[in-house]
Structure formats: structure tokens, C-alpha cells
A and B are shown apart, each in its own frame.
Chain A
Amino acid sequence: MIPLMNAFACLLALAVTVFYWRSPLRIFKETVIIVGSLALFCVYSYFAGDMTDPQMQHYPFRMLALALCFSTTALPNKRRRYLLIAEVMWLWIEFFGGIALYYQGVDMPWTRILALAVSVLGSTFLSRISHEMEFALMAYWIAVWVFF
């Protein structure tokens, strides 16, 4: 995928988070929204990327993880816990997806993995998540997505 489309993917992930975790929380509503956004990411990946590239195999799921990370900054309660879970999920997808690709001959994305690991570790020490911190976290995730 070309860098421009990759950046658009990040914007798309950011855009769909508007619909996440709106009260009242209902298991069906949230599931449908997440599945719907994942379907959107799949369609986007299919048309915006080269499907013969092995790295596209988990691209929509990476987008979902990014969207979940973004969405946790807007949660009213237990933000740190869910922020950490979303970050770990992203790290999980990157790392184990990377291992699967490693066995196909693709290099592990170590820079991205390390950046996310640092983010996870740092987030465990977060105290109050202020608006400035929310912005900084989102900027960090965007940087990880776009540059790494």
C-alpha cells in the first residue's frame, strides 16, 4: 500500500471511532458497530492495497486495533485499563501477525513492535489522562502507524 493510502487508512480508523461506545452501551449495538467498521476496513484494504502483498493479510485488523486505541481516549470510566487492552491488542496483532509473515519470508516490523511495546509500558504508568495526554497519545499512535 502506498504511504498516502496508508495515511488515509489512519484517518478512516479515526473517523469511525465517533460511533464507538456511545451510551447506552448495548452488546449488540457495539458488536454491530465494530463488525461494521471492520467490514469497512476490509473493503478499504481490498481496494486501496495490493492483495498479493502478504502484509495486507492482517491490515484491516490492524486498522481495527488502531480505531479501538483511538476510541478508548473518549471512554468515561476505566480509561487506562481499556486503553492498555486496546494497545496490547494492537501489539498482539502486529507481533503474532509478524511471526506468521516471518515464516513466509517477510521481516518482522521490529520498530513498530518496539514503539508499541514502549507505548504499552508507558501507559501503565499513566495517572490522570488529561486532554493533552489524550492528544499526545493519539499523535503517537498516528506516528507509529504512518512512519513505522
Chain B
Amino acid sequence: MIFRILLYVGLALLLPGLAALGFSLWEGPAAWSLDARTFWGVPISLFVFWIGIAHAGTLISAILLALGVNLDRRTSLLAELTTLCALVVAAAFPLMHLGVVENFYMVIPFADARGSFANVRSPLVWDFCCIAVYAVLSLVYFAIHLLADRFQSLEDLRRPMAWLLFPLVLWVHTIVSLDFAATFVPNWQGAFFPLYFITGAIFSGLAMVNVLLVAEGCRVRLLEKLMLACSFVMLLFWGWIFALRGEWNFSVFAFAALLPQLWWVSSVRESAFGRLAISLSVLIGLWLERYYLVLPTNPETFGWVDAGLIAFSLGLFTTLLVFLRVKLRKPIEGGELVFGELDEKQAPVVEHHTEPLTSREFIVLRFPLLLGVLVALVYTLWAVASPAFETTAVGVPNVFPLFYPIVALVATIVLCARPAWNIGRGSRYLKIAFIVIATLFAFLAGMFYAGGSSTPSKFLTGVEIPAEGDSAVVPDSLHARAIWNARCSSCHGVDGKFNEKFIREFYPVPQKLTAERLDSLGEDSLVHVIMGGRANMNPYVDRITEAEARALVRYMRSLAPAHIPAPETNETAPETNETAPETNEAAPETNIPAASSDPQQTESLQQSSEVTQ
């Protein structure tokens, strides 16, 4: 009955939320309210909120298992299911936030057929890699847990998998925290952010699992105690932020620190309604915390799209969770297992001394881990030495955040290969499933490697594009606009003022293009840049003619205003850039296209690089 009610509530939130989602995808970042200083809005606050819940689900299950704390099977499965559903919800928001959803594959840190390589200096690239690996491993962990009843060999994989997930879950939320800490926004500069975010994630995850336990009609006292402990730690973090920056938010404090103290009152904690109210209060408080963090100037234009996106996230999560919970009722509840029953057999207490690196977990994990480390090292060396970074300074701190996710992914594949083979050998369905997954993976990898279409389409541009062979004809401004919209606008913007959302988070922020600057540099040098490419700009020499490039330059000139005043939001950037090791200011001097061998051309490109960067 409770699941049916939750399903209706979920659908009631999801359906209107879908309208907001569709409008947001159609309109882009202009659809929702944006903070004037951070350029971020509700989607990112929702992303951080849901990813926190997603991390805590597996964290509760895996870390407790790894540390030998017993949790019953049903609670841990519920936590793992929460992780998967929350991950689906969380993944939607960074995609929407890009503004160029179809170009999302550009954040995959691997070279494509054109030689492009994602900017590994961007935390967005780290996010994609870490969260994708985390999603895969969480799914595998959940599947192992579900199937462990039927296949005994899978039970032996749970602890090693928990040990792999233990650091990964902390790693991923640390990377999410660096999305903030690695920016120039003063409110977000905090070297303590990794710990702060991890604690917040655990706190919100515990609250969500407690809400679900109330829906299941059960309670786990350990989780309630952990919630109370988390409220103390979060209070301390807020106190430290107050000491550092004088920021204090009473509503967050009231919802997430003050009200949880009601756990001390026995009549409240013994009542299902009381437990539900406290857990919901924590969730509201932590969402508000993320909201005020992402939008520090607190814009007054909180519109229907923002509310719709919140409804969408709640609706999608609830619907998905209830649907899966009902579908998986049998394996989750099991024939005999009930709440409170231990998840696995108690290991015998070993009194004698255990030699280092000889426990079974170490032996099982050692080879996969070493292989993972080897692959990650090779990847790191290859990525840093990639030709794409010849003109861009990339250091170990830029690539290292990808290290452990690669280790964990490789280790999991190696760890699960033999049991999966043994199980799959006897089942036709599993063989088919494996072939389908492998084919799908190969297809997606091929699509990524090929990259997006480089042909301007009528659908995108609204005008007919001349066929190949007409290149001798000097294109008119309509044709130039078509090429611009198809090839340039995803970064430079349809109006030539940049796609702020895309550029700011992928690449160093380029300089504004004014008519004065364009005139001073001249058409020829700009044509060279378009044809030869630059650090983060693909060369177009094989894809457009020189006449088209000239038409593009003229079209760009027509878009450029005479003078662009410095935006207020960049006031802090010069101060911080002075000491930064990889500043945007330094990029124009170093970003000379590698393709130019002619000294004259190089000189002109050095000049023009100031414009296009």
C-alpha cells in the first residue's frame, strides 16, 4: 500500500517535472535562474544533493561491510538500490547544465579520431570519469549482492568489492567537492571541502535510508546514531566556515543540525512519524545548504523551471526506486531474511597473529589491484604526453583525480571475470546478455571515437548547405552564418559572445572578441587559426575551404561589438590568476598551433592567438 502511494506521489511530481526538463533542454541554461557570480544554478545544487545520496547508499553498505560492521541484508540492499536510483537522477543535471547536451561525450578523457582530448584540467572531466566508474561498480556490487544467494562464488566477491568501493566512494565525492574548490569563486575556496562534502553526503544518505526504512515499517538504530553523530560533525564544519568567511545560514542550521537533536527525545525516535520528520528535516536542510552554496548571491528569480526541476528529481527518484523495489521484492526480501538478520555468516574470530598481506582479501585483491595500478599509470603517462597537451600545461594534479577510478574499474573487471565466466558458461541468457552488453559498449566506444558530425545540417542551421565541389564560390553571409552555427557556435555562441556554460567549464575562459581587436589582427591571421586550429580548437583545414574561413571571419566581425566592458563577475580573477600555475592569461603566449612550421605563419598565429583564446 505504501509503495502504491509513493508511486502515485512520484508520478505526480515527475510528470509536471518533465515539462520543466523539456523546457530546460530546449532553452538551455537561460531557462533556470543562474547565480550572477558563479554561473551555476539549481541543476548543480540538485546534482550535488543527489550525488551525495548516491554515494552514501553504497558507502553505508560497502564501508560497514569492509570494516566488519554487520548490517542486515535488506537494509544494505535498500541502501544500494538508493545509490543506483540517485545516480540516475544526479547524472541528468550536469548534462542539462552543459547547455550543449549532444556534446557531452567531449568530457570523456580519451582521444578521438580527430586527435581531440578532453581538458583534464577541468573538474567536469574528473566528474564524468569518476561517476561513470562509480555507477558501474555500484551496479556490479548490487548485482553480486542480489545473486549471492543463488551463486555461492559471488558471496566471496562481496568483501573485496567493498574494499574497492570504500576508497572509490570517498574519492568520487572528493572530486565533486573539487568542482567547487578548484574554481576562482571566493566562497568556494576551501581545502577542507573534500571532508566537508563527504560528511554531508554521508549525512544526507543516512537520512534518505532512514526515510525509506520508515516506508518499509522498520528502523535500524545504528543508522539513527550515525545520523546524530553526523549532525555534530556538520555543525563543526559550518562553524569553521563561519570562522573563515563569516558565513552562517540559520535555516540550514535549524533543519540539519538543530532538529536532528530530537533523536535524543525517546517519544520522537520511537514514533515512525517522528523519525520520518527528522530525516526529512535533514534532507531539506542539506538541500538548502547545497542551494545556498551553489547560488551564494541567492537570486530572487526562483521560477517555475527551478521548482519543476526539483519536482522532476524527486519524482524520478521516487518512481524509479518504488518500481525497482517492487520488481525486486523477492530477491530483496528473500524467503526467510528479515530486518535485523545479519547479512553474511560471522567470520570466526582468529586469535593468532596474521602475517601482513596474507589475509584472503589481500590475496584476492592483490593481483587485480596491481593490474589496475599498472593500467592507470600507463594511462596517466599517455594522457600527459598526449599531443593535445603540447601547448597546454598539464600536471600530475590535473590527471591524478582519474587515477583511482581507473584502478577500481580494472580491478573489478579482473576480480569478477572468473566468477562471471563460471556462472555465464552454464546459462544461455547470461551469454546473450554479455554479448549484448559487449556489442553496446563497442558501439558507444566507436561513436565516441568517431566524434560528432562535422557536416552542417539543415536541421541545425535552418539553411541549405551547398554540396561539396562548390567551394570555389565565395560564400555569402547566410552561408557563413550556417557554418558558424554548425561548427563554431557550440563554443563561441550563436551570437559570438561564447557559450558561457560550455566554455567556462571545459576550457580556459577566452578573451572577448571586440571589433577593435579583430581589426587590429587582420583577416589572414584569423583564417590561419581557423584552418590550423589551436590548443582547444580543432583544425578545420580539411573540412572547410579558405573562402569559407574568410567568410567566417567576416561573419565573426559582424557579430563583434565595438567595445565590451569587463564583466563584474571577473573582478576577482586577475588577483587569483597572478599566482596560479596555469592561468588563462598565460595560455595565449604558449598556445601556438603545433601544425605551423612556417616562421611567418607562426608569428601571425602568435598574434591571432590572443584573439581566439
Q: Considering only CB atoms, which chain B residue lies closest to A96 in the complex?
A: B194
Q: Is the CB of B189 within 8 A of A54?
A: yes
Q: Is the CB of A97 within 8 A of B240?
A: no
Instruction: Note all chain A residues with C-beta closer than 8 A to B182.
Output: 99-100, 103
Q: Considering only CB atoms, which chain A residue lies closest to B228 in the complex?
A: A28
- Number of A residues, CB within 8 Å of B: 39
Main secondary structure on A side of the interface with B: helix
Among B105-113, B350-358, B549-557, the stretch that binds chain A is B350-358
Q: Is B472 at the interface (CB under 8 A from chain A)? A: no
Q: Is B344 at the interface (CB under 8 A from chain A)? A: no
Q: Is B193 at the interface (CB under 8 A from chain A)? A: yes
Q: Is B384 at the interface (CB under 8 A from chain A)? A: no
Residue interface bits B232-263, CB-to-A below 8 A is 1, else 0: 11001001100110000000000000000000
Q: Is the CB of B356 within 8 A of A105?
A: no
Instruction: Note all chain B residues with C-beta closer than 8 A to A57.
Output: 189-192, 244
> Known: A42-B236, A93-B194. Is A105-B397 also a contact (CB below 8 A)?
no
Give CA–CA (A129, B195) in the complex, Å: 29
Q: Is A38 at the interface (CB under 8 A from chain B)? A: yes
Q: Is A11 at the interface (CB under 8 A from chain B)? A: no
Q: Is the CB of B581 within 8 A of A99?
A: no
Instruction: Note all chain B residues with C-beta closer than 8 A to A35.
Output: 232-233, 236
Residues 116-139 of A at the B interface (beta carbon under 8 Å):
124-128
Q: Is B143 at the interface (CB under 8 A from chain A)? A: no
Give CA–CA (A141, B164) in the complex, Å: 27
A127's partner among B243, B355, B397 (CB-CB below 8 A) is: B355
Q: Is A112 at the interface (CB under 8 A from chain B)? A: no
Q: Is the CB of B226 within 8 A of A27?
A: yes
Give CA–CA (A107, B395) in the complex, Å: 12
B191's partner among A51, A100, A124 (CB-CB below 8 A) is: A100
Q: Is B360 at the interface (CB under 8 A from chain A)? A: no
Q: Is the CB of A124 within 8 A of B181?
A: no
Q: Is A46 at the interface (CB under 8 A from chain B)? A: yes
Q: Is B225 at the interface (CB under 8 A from chain A)? A: yes
Give CA–CA (A127, B355) in the complex, Å: 6
A120 to chain B, nearest CB (A): 12
B236's partner among A38, A92, A97 (CB-CB below 8 A) is: A38
> Known: A35-B236, A39-B236, A42-B239. Is A127-B578 also a contact (CB below 8 A)?
no
Q: Is B576 at the interface (CB under 8 A from chain A)? A: yes
Q: Is B579 at the interface (CB under 8 A from chain A)? A: yes
Q: Considering only CB atoms, which chain B residue lies closest to A42 in the complex?
A: B240
Main secondary structure on B side of the interface with A: helix
Instruction: Note all chain A residues with C-beta closer than 8 A to B177.
Output: 96, 100
Q: Is the CB of A103 within 8 A of B580?
A: yes
Instruction: Note all chain A residues with C-beta closer than 8 A to B146.
Output: none
Residue interface bits B150-189, CB-to-A below 8 A is 1, else 0: 0000000000000000010010001001100111000001
Q: Is the CB of A31 within 8 A of B232?
A: yes
Q: Is B19 at the interface (CB under 8 A from chain A)? A: no
A99's partner among B192, B401, B579 (CB-CB below 8 A) is: B401
A100's partner among B190, B222, B356 (CB-CB below 8 A) is: B190
Give CA–CA (A80, B357) in the complex, Å: 11
Q: Is the CB of A97 within 8 A of B192?
A: yes
Q: Is A140 at the interface (CB under 8 A from chain B)? A: no
Q: Is the CB of B228 within 8 A of A98?
A: no
> Known: A57-B190, A58-B191. Is A100-B357 also a contact (CB below 8 A)?
no
Q: Considering only CB atoms, which chain B residue lies closest to A55 in the complex?
A: B191
> Known: A39-B239, A92-B174. Is A99-B225 also a contact (CB below 8 A)?
no
Give CA–CA (A82, B228) in the complex, Å: 23
Residues 49-102 of A at the B interface (beta carbon under 8 Å):
51, 54-55, 57-58, 60-61, 80, 88, 92-93, 95-102
Q: Is the CB of A128 within 8 A of B353?
A: yes
Give CA–CA (A136, B236) in the complex, Å: 33
A49 to chain B, nearest CB (A): 11
Q: Is the CB of B189 within 8 A of A31?
A: no
Q: Is A32 at the interface (CB under 8 A from chain B)? A: yes
Q: Is A23 at the interface (CB under 8 A from chain B)? A: no
Q: Is B324 at the interface (CB under 8 A from chain A)? A: no
Q: Is the CB of B397 within 8 A of A102?
A: yes
Q: Is the CB of B578 within 8 A of A105?
A: yes
A46's partner among B195, B229, B243 (CB-CB below 8 A) is: B243
Q: Is A142 at the interface (CB under 8 A from chain B)? A: no
B530 to chain A, nearest CB (A): 31
Could you say which of B178, B191, B236 has the most chain A C-beta atoms within 10 Å of its C-beta?
A: B191
Instruction: Note all chain B residues with C-beta closer than 8 A to A97.
Output: 191-192, 194
A61's partner among B195, B239, B400, B580 (CB-CB below 8 A) is: B195
B576's partner among A32, A58, A100, A104 (CB-CB below 8 A) is: A104
Closest 3 CB pairs of A and B: A105-B579, A97-B191, A100-B181
A sample of 22 cross-chain residue pairs with beta-carbon separation below 8 angstroms, ordered by A number, consists of A27-B226, A31-B233, A32-B232, A35-B236, A38-B233, A38-B236, A51-B243, A51-B244, A57-B190, A58-B191, A58-B195, A93-B194, A100-B178, A100-B181, A100-B182, A102-B397, A102-B581, A103-B580, A104-B579, A105-B577, A105-B579, A124-B357
Given contact pairs A61-B192, A92-B194, enumerate 14 new A-B contacts (beta carbons under 8 Å). A31-B229, A38-B233, A38-B236, A58-B195, A92-B170, A93-B194, A99-B400, A100-B194, A103-B580, A105-B576, A105-B579, A105-B581, A108-B397, A125-B357
Q: Write the residues of chain B forming the contact surface with A, with a CB cutoff of 8 angstroms.
A: 167, 170, 174, 177-178, 181-183, 189-195, 222, 225-226, 228-229, 232-233, 236, 239-240, 243-244, 353, 355-357, 397, 400-401, 576-581
